[in-house]
């Protein structure tokens, strides 16, 4: 049997190349839009990182004014962060109020606008993720002239502030497309600096295939941080941080400046180990971190005679005060801190 062949009639026109390319492009576009839609539906329109950071010239990184960002917890729940015209998280107090400055613990990462301790206690919330003590003090100095302030709480976070030391946020991070990136990341982080990172579908692909992801992607050599491994070695840094806070207070004698100490989540005890970012280090330490108050004592001595708000008593042995798989305060933790501030400061 001979082979059958299909012959094209000389009257039939071949499909133009431009038409075939157009069909292929349209198919890819439709597939991409469907993938984007499905991804947004699955993640509820939220991603695991905040996307409202701004950086202008050589000024400190801040949160964008009048902005909002849907964020997803590691455990799946979503929450929204909204800011006012000054870049402070809502709600905004009416009339004279205290200002609280600090990092993501102050901002209230993981909880809704109305569930932060600032909201519950009626404070101006000037928390910015990535900030250290130096950044918080500079933020307070910038905000005080424009707000009706009766006092300032400088919240020092054990989990971050000794690691950041006397460096500034601009030394540690940079902003690209609203994301907070490690300043040490180079060309590999180029995706995050492009508009493509705004796509939910490509965002997750970026987390898989790039090293320079937003904020949380940093090097971890597996060793406990020095402040956790050997808190006694931090005494000189504690004194330096205290000197910065006291100098800030000395320059504002008409304002009450309170130093707040927020312990790391391991203060809640061994039950926190399986769900804490620092739990993997606990068994390699000389003493249980929930029993160690070295950093607190160093800071209190370094900032005397300023009023000192120690939040350890209300958080120790309270695993429910922190979010699972996260060291940030939970709704319960924020409520406890708000009560302490109302009873001991306001």
Query: What digits encode the pLDDT tens for the residues 115-167?
Result: 999 999 999 999 999 999 999 999 999 999 999 999 999 999 999 999 999 99
What sign does the CA torsion over 65, 163, 57, 244 have?
Answer: positive
Residue 195 lies in a domain: yes
Count of the separate structural domains present in the chain: 1
Nearest C-alpha neighbor of 132 from the set 227, 253, 268: 227
Residue 33 lies in a domain: no
Partners of 176 in the β-ladder: 179
Show pLDDT as tens, one digit a residue, over the chain (346 residues): 444 454 545 556 677 777 677 777 777 777 767 766 776 777 778 888 899 999 988 889 999 999 999 998 888 889 999 999 999 999 999 888 999 999 999 999 999 999 999 999 999 999 999 999 999 999 999 999 999 999 999 999 999 999 999 999 999 998 989 989 887 655 566 777 888 888 888 787 777 766 556 654 444 556 789 999 999 999 999 999 999 999 999 999 999 999 999 999 999 999 899 999 898 888 878 788 899 999 999 999 999 999 999 999 999 999 999 998 889 999 999 999 999 999 999 9
pLDDT of residue 219: 44
**What domain range is 136 assigned to?**
53-344
Q: How many CB atoms lie within 10 A of CB 332?
A: 17
pLDDT digits (tens, 9 = 90+) for 306-345: 999 999 999 999 999 999 888 999 999 999 999 999 999 9
How does DSSP assign 36-102, residue by residue? HHHHHHHTTT-BSS---EE--TTSPPEEPTT-EEEEE-TTS-EEEEEB-TTSPBSPPPSSSEEEEEE
How far apart CA 17 and CA 113 sit, in angstroms, is 55
Residue 75 lies in a domain: yes
How far apart CA 234 and CA 126 sit, in angstroms, is 26
pLDDT of residue 227: 94
How far apart CA 284 and CA 157 sit, in angstroms, is 22
CATH code for position 185: 3.40.50.1110
Residue 16 lies in a domain: no
Helix (H) or strand (E) holding 166: none
Residue 29 lies in a domain: no
Name the one residue in this structure whose structure tokens are 């705004």. Answer: 198
How far apart CA 3 and CA 297 sit, in angstroms, is 92
What's the full length of the chain, in residues? 346
Residue 34 lies in a domain: no
pTM to 2 decimals? 0.88
Residue 36 lies in a domain: no
What letter does residue 327 receive in the DSSP assignment? Answer: -
Cα 132 versus chain centre, distance: 12
Residue 170 lies in a domain: yes
């Amino acid at each position: 049997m001979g082979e059958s062949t299909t012959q094209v009639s000389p009257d039939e026109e071949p499909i133009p190349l431009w038409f075939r390319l157009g069909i292929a492009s349209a198919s890819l576009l439709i597939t991409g839009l469907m993938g984007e839609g499905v991804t947004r539906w699955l993640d509820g329109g939220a991603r695991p990182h905040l996307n409202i950071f701004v950086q202008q010239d050589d000024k400190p990184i801040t949160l964008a004014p009048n902005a909002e960002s849907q964020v997803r917890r590691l455990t799946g729940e979503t929450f929204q962060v909204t800011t006012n015209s000054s870049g402070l998280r809502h709600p905004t107090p009416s009339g004279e109020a205290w200002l609280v400055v600090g990092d993501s613990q102050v901002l209230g990462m993981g909880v809704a606008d109305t569930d932060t301790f600032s909201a519950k206690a009626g404070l101006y919330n000037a928390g910015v993720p990535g900030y250290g003590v130096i950044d918080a003090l500079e933020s307070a100095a910038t905000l005080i002239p424009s707000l009706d302030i009766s006092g300032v709480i400088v919240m020092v976070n054990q989990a971050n502030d000794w690691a950041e030391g006397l460096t500034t946020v601009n030394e540690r991070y940079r902003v690209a497309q609203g994301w907070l990136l490690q300043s040490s990341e180079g060309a590999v982080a180029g995706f995050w600096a492009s508009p493509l990172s705004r796509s939910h579908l490509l965002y997750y692909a970026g987390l898989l295939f790039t090293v320079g992801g937003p904020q949380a992607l940093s090097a971890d050599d597996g060793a406990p941080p020095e402040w956790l491994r050997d808190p006694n070695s931090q005494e000189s840094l504690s004194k330096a941080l205290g000197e910065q806070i006291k100098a800030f207070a000395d320059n504002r004698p008409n304002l009450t400046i309170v130093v707040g100490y927020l312990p790391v989540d391991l203060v809640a005890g061994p039950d926190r180990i399986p769900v804490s970012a620092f739990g993997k280090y606990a068994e390699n330490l000389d003493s249980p971190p929930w029993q160690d108050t070295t950093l607190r004592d160093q800071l209190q001595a370094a900032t005397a005679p300023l009023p000192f708000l120690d939040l350890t008593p209300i958080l120790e042995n309270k695993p429910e005060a922190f979010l699972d798989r996260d060291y940030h305060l939970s709704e319960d933790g924020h409520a406890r801190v708000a009560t302490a501030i109302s009873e001991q400061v306001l």
